[in-house]
Structures are given as structure tokens and as C-alpha cells.
Amino acid sequence: MATVTLRLSDETKKRIEKASEARSIPVSDYIREALEMHLRLEQSGDIGADRPGDVEDVSLTPYQRKVLQLLHRNLLATKGGLGDSYYDHDEEVRALKTLENGFAGEYPNEFADISAPMSRAECELVWDILDMFRVIQASVRRLGKDGWNQLNVDDAEYHGTFRGFDFNDADEVRMANYAEFLVKTDRWTEQRDVFEPQHGGGNSHTQMLPTYRAMLRVFKPTWRQAIRGGRNRGYFSADEVRQVLLAAPGAEMKGSGSSRATAH
């Protein structure tokens, strides 16, 4: 790997050291990740870059998913990569006896670790949410260090920050699990901190889907218009970000005691 020497102000150096310490990683790793994320946001057409390619929808039955799951586990086991959490000797013996003897009443136990599938539409909703906050945060950074203040929205940073999902809601906890999977497989890595234990592991402790959907109703047509206008570098103007934030329930212009409708 190439080596680059950087000159930083004392304040910036202290901030980097504090942030890297909070994540328990070396300073060099923290700087490298930050630069890589910045470059990703600078790339043309970055929005949508982390989504899977357009492929024909694949539907799998619980039986098919279980078979594929076991095949992948066997592959990991042969390479010594299967963690202890995936192996319980007594459970494996029980399952073997169940299948050998055809105890049909016990069959559901074989699928206890196979959760209900997330539909393509649900996956796309998570992608849309993560893309929306990618655009918001990249746009604010582009405005400068006082970017949030330039939006003239009360608690702008709060409304413009992805806060995870509610673990007490059956639908949202599944989306949280998927979002965490995406982040930990190096997609939408700018949201990595949201899923760290010290930040609640992605648990918002309040329902977020209504808020995210309200914001998406403004974000998606605005983004489509930006694409048609040739502005496809992943940025919004301050006014465009403001309109998305004001779509969030409870968001208001600074100094406004009236409803958000008067702010549009």
C-alpha cells in the first residue's frame, strides 16, 4: 500500500484521535476509512451504487433456504470458518433423529432459524432510506462547516441524520437487521456508527418508518428532477435539503411557530 504524509491542525488531530479511540481502531484506519467514504460520495452516480444490479426476482421456499443455509455452513466448516454459535452438538443429534425417523410433528423445529423473508419492495425501501441520508449528509458537508445552520431548520442535524429503526416494531426490527447487514458488508458504510453498541446498535427506540416515508415522498421526486437536470453527483442544494427535512413530522423552520406547510 502507498504511504501519504498529511499535515493537520492540532484540533483536527485531537478530533481524529478521539473518534478512532471511540471505535477502538488505529488512527490510520480511521483516516483511511474517512477518505474512502469521501471518495465514494464524490463519485458520479454514487446514489444507487451500493444496490444490487437489476436481476430477475428469485423466490425461495423455507425448505430451499434451509438447504442452501446448510450448504454454506458446511463450506465454512470445511475452511474452519464456522463460529461456535452456529454449532450445538445436542441440537444436531436431535435434528438427525427427527429426520431419520420422520417425526413430522418435529419438522417445524428444523425451520426455527429461518425467519420470514423480506420482500424485494421492503429491501428497496431500506435502500431508498439509506440513499436519502447519504444525499442529505453529503450535501450538508458540501455547504461547509456551518452547513446545518445554513438550512435554517430547527434541529436540522437531528432530522437529517439516520437514526436506525425501532426494535420493538416487528417490521422495523427486520429492516434494522437488513440495514446492519448492508453496512457490515461494506455498503452505505457512512452509517456504520449507527450500528455500534455505544450508539444503541441501530435501535431508534421509536418508530421511524412514518418519518422516513414522509421524507422520501419529497426526496424521491426531487432526486429524479436533479437527475433529469444533469445534477447526478449526489448533492442537493440547501433549499432542496431543507424541503426534505421539513417533510419530517415535527420539523419546522427556525423561529416558526406555525405548521411546516407555511414554510414551503
List average pLDDT for each run of 10 residues in the chain, which is 264 residues long.
82 84 79 66 52 69 82 81 79 87 87 80 93 94 91 96 96 95 93 94 96 95 79 79 96 73 40
| Alpha-carbon distances of 109 from 59, 92, 105, rounded to whole Å | 22, 11, 9
What is the model's pLDDT at position 48? 63
What is the model's pLDDT at position 261? 41
What is the model's pLDDT at position 116? 78
- Write down the pTM of the prediction: 0.69
What is the model's pLDDT at position 54? 58
